Amino acid sequence: MEKVFTRKLLSNAKQIHSGETSLIYQMPDGDLLKVFSPLYLYILNGASIEMAPKILEADKRIHRPEIVVPKRAAISDFWQVEGYTMDKVDGVGILQQLLKMSKSGVRDLTEIANLYKKIEDVVKESPNIVFPDLCTLSNILVTRDNDIRLIDYDGLQIDNYKAVCVSSNVTGENPRGNYQLTTKNSKYFKDGFFSKNLDKKSLMYIYLYFVFGSWFSAFLENGISMEEKIYARGNVVDILGLTDEKELLEKLDTMVFSENYDNQYLEDTVFHIAENYTLERIPGFPSRVGHPTLNRLVKKR
C-alpha cells in the first residue's frame, strides 16, 4: 500500500467532519481522508495496539466488497501511520434509509427484513472480523443501489488486530444484576479480543431498532427505560406484540441473560415476522423529545 505524508494529502483537502477520534476530509480526487485524533492515537498506544500493519495489510485481510478499506496510508513527518484514504460511498446513512422506508409513518417489515439481512450476511460471512461498533449505526451506509457499506475500518477487530472501541448500545447494565458490561463477560470479551457473540447481540439490537423504533430498549430492560421503569418486561412483550414469537424471545434471552450459551443469528426469523405481521404505532404511548412513539406488531388476518 502506498504511503503518503498527511500534510501533502491535507494541502487541497476540505474538512467535512470532526469527531472525538478522527477528522474526515474530502479530497480533490473524490476520496476521503481520515486522520486520527491525538486522543485516539494516545488510546491506541496505551493499549499497545499498532494501527500501521492493520492498515497496510487491509487488502489482504478484507475480502468483502461491503467493507470500505484503506487505499493509501497517511503518515506523519515522523513516519507514523496516522490515518488513511478511502473511497467515498455514494449513499445515505442507515437512519436516513429507514426514514425513506417509512409508509404513513410506519416501516414495512419486509423491507426491514431485506435490509437487516444484508447487514447480517456481511457480518456472518466475515468469520475473521468482529464489528464492535456496529450497533452505533453511523458506520452503516446504504448505496443508491440499496447495497450495504460498512465504514470505520480502523475500528474493526481483524484476525489478531485488536479493537479498542465498542458501541455503548451493547454494553449497558442488565437489570437482573449479574451480567453487566459486555467487556466484563468472557462470552463477549476474553484475553483482549471480542467474540462473534458481540456481533450477534449487535444485530439483534439493530433489528429491534429497525422494527420498534428508538424505544426498542423497552424490550430489553425492566421497563421502558432504566430510569422510568413503566412496565414489567413481560408486559412489554405483550405491548410489542411479541407474545407468540418464541424463537425470537429465546434468541434474545440467550444473548441478554445467559452467559453459558452462544448467541444465534436471527436469519429467517426476520422473514417469518414480516410474513405474519404488520406494524402499527401504539396510540397514546408516552413520548420524549427526539423519539417517536413505539411501534408494535399486529398479526395479519
166-181 residue pLDDT tens = 887 676 544 333 334 4
Count helices and strands in the chain by DSSP H and E runs: 11, 17
Distance CA 54, CA 51 (A): 5
CATH for 2-86 (3.30.200, 3.30.9, 3.30.530, 2.60.40): 3.30.200
Please report the pLDDT score of residue 183 as a whole number: 58
Please report the pLDDT score of residue 192 as a whole number: 87
| Helix or strand holding residue 262 (H, E) | none
pLDDT digits (tens, 9 = 90+) for 26-42: 999 999 999 999 999 99
When pLDDT is cut at 50, 70 and 90, the band that residue 64 belongs to is very high
Sign of the CA dihedral with 204 first, then 206, 212, and 214 last: positive
Cell of 134: 456496529
Q: Which of 9-13, 150-154, 189-193, 219-223 is predicted with the least confidence, judged by mean pLDDT?
A: 219-223
Distance CA 40, CA 31 (A): 22
Distance CA 48, CA 39 (A): 14
Q: 196-212 and 246-257 are packed helices; what angle lies between their axes, rounded to 10 degrees? A: 130
Question: Architecture of 91-299 per CATH?
Answer: Orthogonal Bundle (1.10)
Residue 193 Rama label (left phi>0; alpha psi -120 to 50; beta): beta
Please report the pLDDT score of residue 139 as a whole number: 92
Burial 46-67 (b: 16+ CB within 10 A, else e): eeeeebeebbbebeebbeeebb
- Reference 260, options 200, 171, 188; nearest CA is 188
What integer is the mean pLDDT of 125-142? Answer: 93
Please report the pLDDT score of residue 290 as a whole number: 44
Distance CA 16, CA 26 (A): 7
Domain locations in the chain as residue ranges: 2-86, 91-299
Please report the pLDDT score of residue 256 as a whole number: 62
What integer is the mean pLDDT of 218-232? Answer: 38
When pLDDT is cut at 50, 70 and 90, the band that residue 98 belongs to is confident
Residue 241 Rama label (left phi>0; alpha psi -120 to 50; beta): left
Please report the pLDDT score of residue 220 as a whole number: 46
What integer is the mean pLDDT of 90-96? Answer: 91
The yes-or-no verdict on residue 230 having pLDDT over 70 is no
Distance CA 279, CA 2 (A): 50
Distance CA 39, CA 205 (A): 29
Please report the pLDDT score of residue 174 as a whole number: 41
The yes-or-no verdict on residue 222 having pLDDT over 50 is no
User: What burial class does residue 33 get, using C-beta atoms within 10 Å of its C-beta: 0-12 exposed, 13-18 middle, 19+ buried?
Assistant: buried
The yes-or-no verdict on residue 209 having pLDDT over 60 is yes
Looking at every residue in the chain, the average pLDDT score rounds to 83
The pTM is what? 0.86
Q: Which residues pair with 85 in a beta bridge?
A: 33, 72
